[in-house]
Amino acid sequence: MGSLRCKSMKAFVKVIHFSDGKSPKEVESLLKAQGFSRVKGTSVFEAEAADEGDGFAKVEKAHQALKGHGLMYEANVGKPPESSAVSAHSYKEKMAKWKDIGLDVDELADLLQYDTDRFKLRGMEMFRAQLDRVVAERDREIRETEAKERIERTREKIMSAMREEGGKTFHQLSSLSGVDEDILAQMLDEMTKKGQIVAKQSGRRVAFVAV
């Protein structure tokens, strides 16, 4: 599986400065401490990432470093944001792209017309909310993956035990696996239906034996 890993995976943060926020030099110092370096001639910063998950972790570190400093920023993993040195689109065209990351562009457009300070604050709140969602989704995926891996390890463990001569009783498998009895019963039922194990009774003893 290691050969499928993207060797050029990077995390990107494009910073949008405001007059009352941190200076470009201060921002560069903050991001450099998080492993990011500025792409020459742009306001885009990049950091090497081992994979997509690592990329989002680096974006989260950048978010923690930049929040509260009067800035807006666009973060991507894998594909760099458009640099102001490359793109000369109007601010309306740029704002329209914010819909893709879940920002309420209509609300921001109204605020921009009547209250620029509120526009900046609300925009940062929206973007932080999107970053929080990304991190929450990533954490959920990690938990789900870890749960599946634990179940698979448990499945292999009890299968190995049932390959022993005479098999194992439900009580023995429960003590061995440490999983909830309902989950164990479900696992044994699935294995039985697939023809992987059989239940054999000897007197009052019922043992599960691998086929």
pLDDT tens digit sequence for 119-171: 899 999 999 998 999 999 999 999 999 988 888 888 899 899 899 988 899 99
Q: Which residues contact 163 (CB under 8 A, 6 or more apart)?
A: 210
Distance from chain centroid for Cα 9: 15
pLDDT at 83 over 60: no
Rounded to an integer, what distance in angstroms lies between the CA atom of residue 132 and that of residue 128? 6
Residue 164 CB neighbour total at 10 angstroms: 11
Query: If pLDDT is split at 50, 70 and 90, which confidence band does 3 have?
Result: very low
Domains of the chain are 7-84 (3.30.70.240), 153-210 (1.10.10.10)
Name the residue with tokens 């390959």.
Answer: 163
Per-residue model confidence (pLDDT) at position 198: 92
Confidence (pTM) = 0.41
